[in-house]
């Protein structure tokens, strides 16, 4: 019975390790490092008398109480800071030196914040400067050391086959075999080829000719034309594309499909021109592959962007609640029908949500079918004309922002009917769905025409893609300020 318990415990540990991502190793390692840094700092600085302190730490009980009371705050502080610095992602495939420099920058920034906090709350801060530097050095050493040990543990588990990164190869047979050979020579990477997908029968015949050893036993999953169904069924961790001359629209759709499924897409460098603004050439375990990464904002920027969304939308809804009630009353008195107009729109990753607006058109305005509003649209009511000119009809969308369905800044959400229509007519259209739609955007502060046409959609896509490729908090602030100016000038379309 005891032996069975040992086997069961070992199996649970093995199963846990097999499901662990690099981020889990990083989080566990950082908790150990942060909780160890303070005792080491106190032992080295206070207990050994390296420098004096006015704190009553001679009593062992007092010292333990201090550590236990401060430790949770330190762990929370540093882990939030590390998360905002982007330290909880797949650093295992990156150079450890790049990871080390990122840790140093994060700790340096966090230490400066601690120094400033002490500076403004303590009259005698000079004595703390050396202590902060010493603590920062200890923390950097421990975090880097334990992360290196975490890398070594992951390499061991991957080499033993406990951690596996399932991969599907798609494309031409010769580069596939070269990539497979490299992966076989480096078992510590943990890659296992789940299957191969060829362009046509000719490629398959070529593969049978050149494949050797284990390569010839790799399952054939199908043809390129069936790749979407294949990734949905197989759910690999990564899809590696090794082919050129692809249809641009088809490739974008595939990337979006994989993104929704949480599947990483990596392509050969010669396809780079297809994904300007979406792809970055990176050394994945030293291999020059392009890692598709549509969101270009850093982790801390995305966090602050979402925090601003929540704060501003909450303030508008709370402070402006009386004004919203008055507007609702005016809409109701102007024409019969519901005050709030609800409409299905397509959001991030193609997810459909209900968007809210103050009704600015007559009831059943879309009885003849969905279509864009036009200049001097006869369906617009009297109060609706004012609301549309001032953009006040969009005020209820702050509720969508608060819920996380929209952001303050981003491409405007479109109706599913138009999304399906434009996807068929224009390549890259679905690329605008990689981020949350916005209450306002780069296109909204530049548009002049609002007629439904391919030319207008193409013009809008250029603005949307510019925003996606240049996303930053600075650009968001500029767009918000320009939008406020447009609202006061009444540049909305009625």
User: Could you tell me if residue 494 is inside a domain?
Assistant: no
Q: Residue 309: what pLDDT? A: 94
Please check whether residues 366 and 228 belong to one and the same domain: no
How large is the average pLDDT for residues 265-282? 55
User: Could you tell me if residue 12 is inside a domain?
Assistant: yes
Please check whether residues 27 and 102 belong to one and the same domain: yes
Structural domain boundaries, residue 286: 165-292
Question: End of a domain among 159, 175, 204?
Answer: 159
- CATH number at 269 reads 3.40.50.1980
How large is the average pLDDT for residues 3-15? 57
Please tell me the least confidently modeled range out of 3-12, 62-71, 442-451: 3-12
The total of structural domains in the chain comes to 3
Q: Residue 86: what pLDDT? A: 85
Q: Between the CA of residue 115 and those of 103, 118, 121, 135, what are the distances in Å? A: 18, 5, 10, 12
pLDDT band for position 117 (cuts 50, 70, 90): confident
221 has pLDDT over 60: yes
Question: End of a domain among 135, 159, 183?
Answer: 159
Q: Residue 67: what pLDDT? A: 72
Please check whether residues 199 and 280 belong to one and the same domain: yes
How far is the C-alpha of 302 from the C-alpha of 471, rounded, in Å?
10
- Tens digit of each residue's pLDDT (9 = 90 or more) over 384-439: 788 887 778 889 999 999 999 999 999 999 989 888 888 877 767 777 888 899 99
Please check whether residues 448 and 323 belong to one and the same domain: yes
Please check whether residues 333 and 394 belong to one and the same domain: yes
Q: Across the strands, what pairs with 431?
A: none
Q: Residue 271: what pLDDT? A: 43
Please check whether residues 189 and 266 belong to one and the same domain: yes
Please check whether residues 109 and 256 belong to one and the same domain: no
Nearest of 107, 139, 135 to residue 34 by alpha carbon:
139
User: Could you tell me if residue 195 is inside a domain?
Assistant: yes
Please check whether residues 110 and 175 belong to one and the same domain: no
Of 255 and 378, the one with more pLDDT: 255
User: Could you tell me if residue 16 is inside a domain?
Assistant: yes
Nearest of 428, 111, 409 to residue 249 by alpha carbon:
428
Q: Residue 181: what pLDDT? A: 84
Whether 305 contacts 435, CB under 8 Å: no
pLDDT band for position 344 (cuts 50, 70, 90): very high
Please check whether residues 26 and 137 belong to one and the same domain: yes
Please check whether residues 208 and 188 belong to one and the same domain: yes
Nearest of 125, 121, 123, 132 to residue 74 by alpha carbon:
132
- Tens digit of each residue's pLDDT (9 = 90 or more) over 297-343: 777 888 889 999 999 999 999 998 998 899 889 888 888 888 898 99
């Amino acid at each position: 019975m005891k032996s069975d318990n040992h086997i069961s415990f070992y199996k649970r540990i093995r199963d846990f390790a097999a499901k662990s991502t690099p981020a889990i190793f990083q989080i566990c390692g950082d908790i150990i490092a942060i909780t160890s840094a303070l005792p080491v700092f106190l032992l080295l600085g206070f207990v050994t008398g390296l420098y004096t302190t006015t704190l009553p730490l001679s009593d062992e009980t007092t010292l333990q109480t201090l550590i236990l009371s401060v430790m949770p705050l330190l762990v929370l502080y540093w882990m939030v800071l590390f998360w905002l610095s982007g330290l909880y992602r797949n650093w295992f495939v990156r150079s450890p030196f790049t990871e080390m420099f990122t840790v140093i920058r994060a700790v340096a920034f966090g230490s400066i914040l601690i120094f400033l906090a002490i500076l403004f709350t303590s009259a005698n801060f000079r004595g703390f400067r050396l202590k902060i530097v010493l603590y920062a050095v200890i923390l950097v050493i421990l975090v880097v050391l334990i992360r290196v040990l975490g890398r070594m543990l992951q390499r061991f588990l991957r080499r033993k086959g406990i951690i596996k990164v399932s991969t599907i190869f798609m494309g031409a047979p010769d580069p596939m075999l070269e990539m497979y050979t490299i992966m076989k020579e480096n078992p510590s990477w943990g890659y296992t080829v789940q299957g191969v997908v060829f362009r046509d029968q000719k490629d398959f015949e070529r593969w049978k000719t050149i494949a050797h050893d284990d390569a010839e036993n790799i399952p054939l999953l199908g043809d390129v034309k069936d790749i979407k169904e294949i990734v949905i069924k197989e759910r690999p961790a990564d899809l590696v594309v090794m082919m050129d001359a692809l249809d641009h629209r088809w490739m974008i759709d595939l990337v979006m499909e994989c993104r929704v499924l949480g599947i990483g897409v990596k392509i050969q460098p010669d396809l780079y021109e297809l994904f300007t603004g979406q792809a970055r050439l990176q050394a994945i375990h030293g291999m020059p592959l392009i890692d598709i990464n549509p969101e270009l904002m850093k982790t801390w920027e995305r966090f602050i962007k979402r925090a601003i969304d929540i704060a501003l939308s909450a303030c508008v809804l709370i402070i402006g609640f009386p004004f919203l009630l008055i507007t609702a009353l005016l809409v109701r008195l102007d024409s019969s029908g519901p005050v709030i107009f609800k409409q299905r729109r397509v959001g991030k990753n193609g997810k459909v949500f209900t968007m809210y607006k103050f009704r600015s058109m007559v009831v059943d305005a879309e009885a003849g079918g969905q279509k864009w509003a036009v200049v001097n649209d006869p369906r617009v009511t009297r109060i609706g004309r004012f609301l549309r000119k001032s953009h006040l009809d969009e005020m209820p969308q702050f509720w969508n922002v608060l819920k996380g369905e929209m952001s303050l800044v981003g491409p405007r959400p479109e109706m599913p009917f138009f999304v399906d229509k434009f996807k068929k007519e224009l390549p890259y259209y679905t690329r605008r769905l990689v981020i949350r739609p916005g209450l306002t955007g780069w296109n909204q502060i530049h548009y002049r025409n609002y007629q439904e046409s391919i030319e207008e959609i193409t013009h809008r896509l250029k603005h949307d893609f510019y925003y996606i490729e240049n996303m930053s908090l600075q650009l968001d602030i500029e767009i918000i300020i320009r939008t406020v100016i447009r609202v006061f000038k009444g540049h909305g379309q009625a």
